[in-house]
Structure 1
Amino acid sequence: MPESEQRPILAATQKWLQTIVIGLNFCPFAQREFDKSTIHYALVDSRKTEDVLTALQAEWQRLDQQPDIATTLLILPYGFEGFWDYLELVDLAEQLLVMEGYEGIYQVASFHPDYCFADADEQDPANFTNRSPYPMLHILREAQLSQALDHHPDPEAIPQTNIDKARAMGYQQLEALRAACLS
């Protein structure tokens, strides 16, 4: 993918991190890594599931070799716009994580423009805690995540706090924030 195509995708992703993930404190641990520039952004310029899984394996290997990278966002701007197709990819990614022996080392979190929690209405503002400008797989180091959670005063409250905050803001406001990340 030419750099001219990569730039707006990366800019939208970084703006989303700053505006929504960090700005709304949906992840109380993201600010530190963003400020330290320890987030690696990888774009997959393919619509094929096999290519995404190959890229995922490459990112696990990168994290193995580069301990200064805290986390990776594997951004999928093409081919996984449909949420159900994307969920199938997430399932395959989690299976591959186990097959490759990375269970307990890395964790895969999921973000998608149409993210919808099971049993939630599509218009539920709580879905915005996992809505992003592009489909992406977020690779986290489990040890680092565990350490961060150990130092948080109430880690169990994070999801409900985020849901309450999102619902208080409302769908329209959150959609406008997310849409602004793409402009």
Structure 2
Amino acid sequence: MTTELAATVVADVRHWLEQAVIGLNLCPFAKATYVKEQVHYAVCGAQTEDEALQAVHDELIALMETPMEERETTLMIFPAMFDDFLYFNDFAGAADDILADLGLEGELQIAYFHPRFQFDGTEPEEISNATNWAPYPILHLLREESIDRAVETYPEVDDIPDRNIELLEHLGVEGWNKLGIVTRVSADEWVKQCPVHGQAPADDAQDKHEGEDHHG
């Protein structure tokens, strides 16, 4: 992946953070970390699940080894994989298993976002799902210490989900679309844009993704 392409991915994610996560105050704790530039953006060019899981392993260790004042949290971005939300949901579970295998339960947590994130019991296009919509599939690696500190400063933390749903329902899909958040084209189309990955013939690329994404 070229530096230029990775920079475009990060710019898309930063816009989402500024306009939605921070701009709509979906996460009251996000602004301080963002303003202090303590968010690490790890753009993962993996095209197989094994490669992606190895990247998760490496980023979890890197977060633990980096001082909190330099890197409080990590956003792992997967522009070349995981079109299907259910597949990504399964992958997030495998990422949690890696966290446990590393003995990092109680130290780190993993949250996740996806362009087609869907909560149980909702329809795909319901605006309440937008709390976890993002431009690309993203794993958010968080420090438990950060969460504990945030809860202390925001005692109404349990009210956040209901407040967000009310806010988004008032905003509506049209209002959400006006935020200008870029949503990734399919992983196959994104790979074709990449000067490195895009060198493979289209048919070969399709075969790879059909082998990976068993839900799609």
- Superposition TM-score, scaled by structure 1 size: 0.95
| Aligned structure 1 segments of 4 or more residues deviating by more than 4 angstroms | none
Q: Distance in 2 between matches of 1:87 and 1:141?
A: 21
* Shift, 1:123, TM fit: 1.9
1:117-156 C-alpha deviation (Å, 9 max, x unpaired) = 0111112111000000000100000111111112103111
Cα RMSD for the two superposed structures:
1.2
Q: Which secondary structure state, in structure 2, belongs to the residue aligned with residue 47 of structure 1?
A: coil
Amino acid at match of 2:47: R
Corresponding residue for residue 17 of structure 1? 17
The residue matched to 1:170 in structure 2 has which SS? Answer: helix
Aligned residue pairs: how many?
Answer: 181
Asked whether the 8 Å contact 1:47–1:80 carries over to 2, the reply is no
CA-CA distance at 1:168 after TM superposition: 1.0
Q: Residue 107 of structure 1 aligns with which residue? A: 109
Of 154, 157, 165, 2:159 maps to 157
8 A contact 2:76–2:139 mirrored in 1: yes
- Answer yes or no: is 1:93 the counterpart of 2:79: no
Q: Which protein shows a greater Rg?
A: 2
Q: After superposition, where does 1:112-131 map in structure 2 within 5 Å?
A: 112-131=114-133
Q: Is there any run of 5+ residues in structure 1 with no aligned partner, and where?
A: none
SS in 2 for 1:115: coil
1:167 pairs, out of 161, 166, 169, with: 169
Identical aligned pairs, as a percentage? 33
- SS of the counterpart of 2:96? helix
Residue among 143, 166, 171 paired with 1:141: 143
One-letter amino acid of the structure 1 residue matched with residue 176 of structure 2: L
Say which SS state the counterpart of residue 153 (structure 1) adopts: coil
